[in-house]
Structure 1
Amino acid sequence: MKAVMCLMGKEPTWQSAKKEMGFANFVDRLKKYDKNNIKPAILKKIKAYRKDPNFVPEFVWKISVAAGAMCDWVCAMDLYADVYKKVKPLQDKLEGAQKELAYKQRGLRQKQEELKNVEAHIASLQADFRAAENHKNLLQERKHALELKKERALKLIDGLSGEKKRWEVSIEQYMKSKLHLPGDCALAAAFITYAGPFDAGYRENLYRSWRVALKEMPSDRFSEHSDNFICDFLSEPTRVRDWNIWGLPVESFSTENGVIVTRTCRWPLMIDPQEQAKKWIRNMHKESKLVEVKASDEDFMTIIENAIGGGRPVLLKDVTEQLPSPLDPLLSRTVFDKSNSISMNDKDLAYNPNFMLYITTKISNPHYLPETLIKTTLVNFMVKTEGLEEQLLGIVVNREKPELEQKNTQLVVSMAKNKKTLKDLEDKILILLKEADASTILDDENLINTLGTSKGTSEHVKNQIKETEETSKKINESRNQYRLAAVRASVLFFVLNDLAKIDPMYEFSLQWYNDLFKASIDDSKLAKKRSKGRQKQMTTSKRIRELNNWHTESVYKTICHSLFERHKLLFSFLICAAILKQDVKIIPEEFTFFLRGGVVLDRKKRGPNPCVDWLSEEAWDNISELDKLGSAFAGFSSSFEQQSSEWQEWYQS
């Protein structure tokens, strides 16, 4: 108990112990003893007490339970004090560390809060950055898109800048033609309907009379027509050039014929003694598998019926002045709309709209009944001077300079192809622009590239056309050196053509004449080769003179074998007169006088006949009119008064 009292800071006596144990809270005080603050002096005393051999808890428990418990408490306090002595510095360190930890944790929490705020700020900045980055990317995309649009716009402007002027002119022409369309259509319809049978001169007179009549109408309904109005209004240059390649002569009369044949609503009936229309039709429908048939063929109607169903073009050749009656339904175009069929020979045939019918006759001056003419369009394809000259020029150049004519043919085909390509490209550009959405046209890269390609090709084709035209001009200059030979050959052909007026048997085909012309050229070459040294020395002009003489002689000798004797002198005269007229060595008025004589309308105004005793009044009429022609015959009538006896002697000799 002394040790207990010592720990409790009391007198280590039994009385003190009894007193303390007498308190009710003695046990609680032991339990709540401040074991962490035991003074070293007290611990020293406790250790001294514990050195007593009897101060062992096991021993004391045997003596007294209460004393044993007190002994355990004292030992525990001593042991605790020893341990606490070692632990206390550690606890102090722990407490310092905990305080430091708490301080650090407070700082950490503050920093974490600051970090959280910074992270939130960073997140906000990152969000702003991402938004700015997205906006930047959007702007870059828009910039790129705008740059592309700018590039495409420049391409479009550059590509179409050359087209603007042409379009403006085209629009102006279109607006004018739209305003004048009723009158122009009336004139074109009249020409197609009525002008076909006539020659170039009569067509021109018709056309001019119609124009005069049109001038009496309101001026804003009719355009000022050019001489080539019909060809310009109803055809295109590229199409006409194709016709020329296919064999249609290169002159306005033949072009008008082509327009009439392709534009008429009735089947064309072509006057074709020289078979030029046949050649043109054959070449034009070469890829359409043209069916050729004659009315004299036994199965010609079966052939035509098959062509009607198959939609193939038919060329009915060499008809007479009476067309086959089975053709009437076809000529009348009595096609049933609902069934799209036609009734022929008591049977209905399926009518293919691609079917076409061309009719030709070799009769140069046919007389068709009105019933035939109202069902067909009669077209005069008789050869004309200009067209024949071009054909013959091609023959002579091909014989004399084959490489030149071959190149010319290639250039004609190339030019036609290039002009057609150019027209197609110009139309393609317009179609692309028409179908494009104006609001998104710059977004359509394919459209811009296509336009650029088309424009580039168009410019290339234009340059090719320009080069071709320049080359063609040079070639034509070289070809024209031989034109006099073609002119002479043309003159001779028309002399032969006029022989049919003397006798219907005197008919010569153009193909036969072309072969004769080729033979003349070849024969003259052989003759030239036989003349030593002449071939190298002969100029083109000399060669043409030689060729003209050779061909003229060849025509004369060949034709004379086919003529009656009584017609040979007339034939010689016609050849000489035609050549002299072509060379402008005959005055037209004098030649007309020679053929027809003088016509006196009023003999009172004529001078009196000074030689009435031997000179008839009719002869004096001719002498008086001849004097009026002037030139070489000036004073001719007065010479009869002055030299009457000399003239009488000559007249009666």
Structure 2
Amino acid sequence: VIDPVLEKNFLPSANGKLIIKLGDKEVEWDNNFRLYMTSKLSNPHYGPEISGKTMIINYGVTQQGLTEQLLNVTVRHERPDLETARETLVKEMSENKAQLKQLEDTLLRELSSATGNILDNQELIATLEGAKAAAVEIAEKLEASKVTAAEIEETRVRYSPVAKRGAILFFVMASLSAITNMYEYSLASFLTVFNLTLHTSKRDPTLEGRLRNIIDALTFDVYSYTCLGLFERHKLMFSFQMTIKILEGDTPLDAQLLDFFLKGNLSLEKARRHKPYEWLPDQGWQDMMRLIAIGQTKLDAAGKVHPLARLADDVEADEGSWRAYYELEAPEEEHLPCGYGDSLTEFEKLCVLRCLRMDRVTVGITRFVISVMTERYVQPPVLDYANIFKQSTENTPIVFVLSPGADPAF
């Protein structure tokens, strides 16, 4: 129905005005008419046909854009003088550029409208000289502003670790909506937590110490705030997701290993190599073959073949050690046999545990989170009504979701 509007299929009417057909009706067209359409899709994709008919504006939050926004918030709180100077400088540079453009237009207009011999037109020459002098002065100001802007930016960028961590945490929160629509967190609610952390985090005489305090406090504040709205069964998953994303922000994790840990071996074909011992789980052996294939494509820190590439050979060569490990009640607490406990990273050990003892992976994830983030990130905060009330405002309602049989009085 709206295609004629999008394609602007105008028809002339008898009175000389434009009309447009909507279905079986003819409607008079107004040049001031604007049509705005929105989508609830978080990441919509539109083909060339739609893109050619409309102007698409993406208001979605990107990690880079949010990092810059949080950097402004952080600097405004920590160094208000610096942020004020930056904003003033940006305004001045914008005004100077506009004035320079105006002078250039004036020069062109005066030259194009001049009549007779330009050299005899003293008024024109005076105007041109004045415009030229003003243009040179503005250009010098712009150059000086660039130097000042670089100095300000050099100081501002030192606060970027806080902004980077904040952006990572927000997108971890936002990704929870993939589990259930109830886990929807707005940017406004996150900014409330972010600003509160800036005000309450511990002060330090050194910038490095202050940034470390903010990052630690922000990470735990976001964890605590988010856990209040999560079901118990999803809290460890949130901790693991947060740990993974923080690690990726510092040193990107191996995408193949992460995909393997989440999905295992998805191949429909059975591995050509048969499992050497009956005690090895069937699916675990298939997963191990996939893990070995990943290891064969990588090198260790010394530039040698990755230890994972020979995992099956070592399991077959030393059945006693591996079977003893397999039969442990809590294998995740013990060293892997054949030196793998020393040669693999914590996440790689988790992948090996997945192959041998799938039933202990949840506990392994808990230990992994503790090793990276400390123990408090696997111990969700106790429900504190006084603290919840402090986080609320007259514009922020508190919604309690009660499970059957739960008594909020206790």
Fold shared, TM-score > 0.5 on shorter chain: yes
Deviations 1:45-103 (A, max 9, x none): xxxxxxxxxxxxxxxxxxxxxxxxxxxxxxxxxxxxxxxxxxxxxxxxxxxxxxxxxxx
Q: Check whether the contact 1:626–1:636 (CA below 8 A) recurs between aligned residues.
A: no
Q: Does 1:624 align with 2:301?
A: no
Show the 5 A alignment for 1:38-437.
Answer: 330-336=5-11, 339-342=16-19, 349=28, 351-352=30-31, 356-365=34-43, 375-437=53-115
Shift of 1:426: 2.3
Distance 2:94 2:125 in 1: 28
Report the CA distance between 1:624 and its aligned residue: 2.3
- Rounded to whole Å, the distance in 1 between the matches of 2:176 and 2:314 is 39
Distance verdict in 2 for CA 1:436–1:362, change over 3 Å:
farther
- Give the Cα separation in 1 of the matches to 2:288 and 2:276: 9
Identity over the aligned pairs, expressed in percent?
33
More helix by share: 1
Contact 2:12 2:19 survives alignment (8 Å): no
TM-score (normalised: structure 2): 0.67
Partner of 2:233: 566
CA distance in 1, matches of 2:132, 2:21: 52
Aligned residues: 315
* Cα 1:445–1:511 shift into 2, 3 Å: farther
CA drift of 1:366 comes to 5.1
Q: Does 1:442 align with 2:114?
A: no
Separation (CA, whole Å) in 2 of partners of 1:369 and 1:404: 44
- State how far apart, in whole Å, the 2-side matches of 1:451 and 1:475 are: 36
Q: What residue identity is the alignment partner of 1:383?
A: V
* Secondary structure at 2:38 match in 1: strand
Please report how far the alpha carbon of residue 340 of structure 1 lies from its aligned counterpart in structure 2 after TM superposition.
4.3
For 1:474 and 1:394, the matched residues in 2 are separated by: 16
Aligned to 2:260: 593
**Which sections of structure 1, spanning at least 5 residues, go unmatched?**
1-324, 529-534
Query: Larger deviation: 427-436 or 549-558?
Result: 427-436
- The CA distance in 1 between the partners of 2:149 and 2:108, in whole Å, is 30
1:204-224, CA deviations, whole angstroms, 9 ceiling, x for partnerless residues? xxxxxxxxxxxxxxxxxxxxx
- For 1:411-449, what per-residue CA distance to the aligned partner results, in whole angstroms no more than 9, with x for missing partners? 112212222222232233233333334x51112222222
Distance 2:278 2:295 in 1: 18
Higher RCO (CA-CA < 8 Å; seq separation 6+)? 2
Residue 633 of structure 1 corresponds to: 307
Q: Residues 485 and 547 of structure 1 are in contact (CA less than 8 Å); yes or no, is this contact kept in structure 2?
A: yes
| AA in 1 matched with 2:225 | T
Deviation at 1:553, TM superposition (A): 1.2
Q: Tell me how far 1:457 sits from its aligned partner.
A: 1.4
Distance in 2 between the 1:509 and 1:563 partners? 15
**TM-score, length of structure 1 as denominator length:** 0.44
Change (3 A) 1:459 1:359: farther
Q: Label 1:357 to 1:408 Cα distance change in 2 as closer, same or farther (>3 A).
A: farther
Which amino acid in structure 2 is aligned with residue 579 of structure 1? Answer: I
Match of residue 346 from structure 2: none
- In the alignment, the residues of structure 2 paired with residue 330 and residue 600 of structure 1 have an alpha-carbon distance, to the nearest angstrom, of 50
- Computed over aligned residues only, the root mean square deviation of the Cα atoms, in angstroms, reads 3.2
Instruction: Judge conservation of contact 1:488–1:548 (CA < 8 Å) in 2.
Output: yes
Q: 1:516 to 1:642 in 2, by over 3 A?
A: same
Which one of 223, 229, 242 corresponds to residue 556 of structure 1?
223
Look up the equivalent residue of 1:610 and give its one-letter code.
P
Q: Would the aligned equivalents of 2:260 and 2:291 in 1 still touch at CA under 8 Å? A: no
**One-letter amino acid of the structure 2 residue matched with residue 550 of structure 1:** A
* Superposed displacement of residue 361, structure 1: 3.6
Aligned residue number for residue 101 of structure 1? none
Structure 1 residues 415 and 611: CA distance shift in structure 2, 3 A: farther
Secondary structure class of the residue paired with 1:507: coil
Is 1:646 equivalent to 2:332 in the alignment?
Answer: no
Cα 1:462/1:362, change in 2 over 3 Å? farther
In structure 1, distance between residues paired with 2:47 and 2:158: 47
Q: Which moved more, 1:367-376 or 1:439-448?
A: 367-376
CA drift at 1:342: 4.3
